[in-house]
Amino acid sequence: MSSVQDKSRRKQDRTRAVLPVRVRGKDASGAQFDELAHTLDITPSGMRLGAIRRELKALDRVIVLYHQRRIEFTVMWTKLVGKHGEYQVGLQMVAQEQQRNDPWGLNLAHAGTPPASRVSAVSGAA
């Protein structure tokens, strides 16, 4: 899948942000897991995670905990990265209408702000 296709399918711009999160759910084999990971980039309704050490299945649900927030996501895609069993995972928020405010507490709605400024704002807030 090329980045041009990704960009045309994506409804929101991604903001680079490395935030520590806890992820809970069932892996591809059906086993429960609870592990630490981190975001690679985020949007108001989704994220790309890194440092997932279990294979997850697309369309499964996981819970992501960040600070005092507990948010349910659907796994949209997974990608094995490297030879050490680490995955990147694309997640889409399940109940976006309930998360009217920025779920990350980072004020991602910077209409008209250049991407470089958004990254700096996120880096300072983490």
- Tell which wins on pLDDT, 122 or 36: 36
47/91 Cα distance (integer angstroms): 5
Q: Is residue 104 part of a domain?
A: no
pLDDT per residue as tens digits for the range 30-78: 999 999 999 999 988 899 999 999 999 999 999 999 998 899 999 999 9
Mean pLDDT across 102-124:
50
Q: Is residue 44 part of a domain?
A: yes
Domain count of the fold of the chain:
1
117/35 Cα distance (integer angstroms): 31
Return the SS3 of 18: coil
120/10 Cα distance (integer angstroms): 22
Q: Is residue 109 part of a domain?
A: no
Q: Is residue 72 part of a domain?
A: yes
Q: Is residue 106 part of a domain?
A: no
pTM score: 0.73
Q: Is residue 54 part of a domain?
A: yes
15/36 Cα distance (integer angstroms): 21
Residue 35 structural domain: 14-98+114-121
Q: Is the dihedral of CA 106, 36, 71, 15 positive or negative?
A: positive
Q: Is residue 90 part of a domain?
A: yes
CATH of the domain at 51: 2.40.10.220
Q: Is residue 63 part of a domain?
A: yes
- Is residue 118 scored above 60 in pLDDT? no
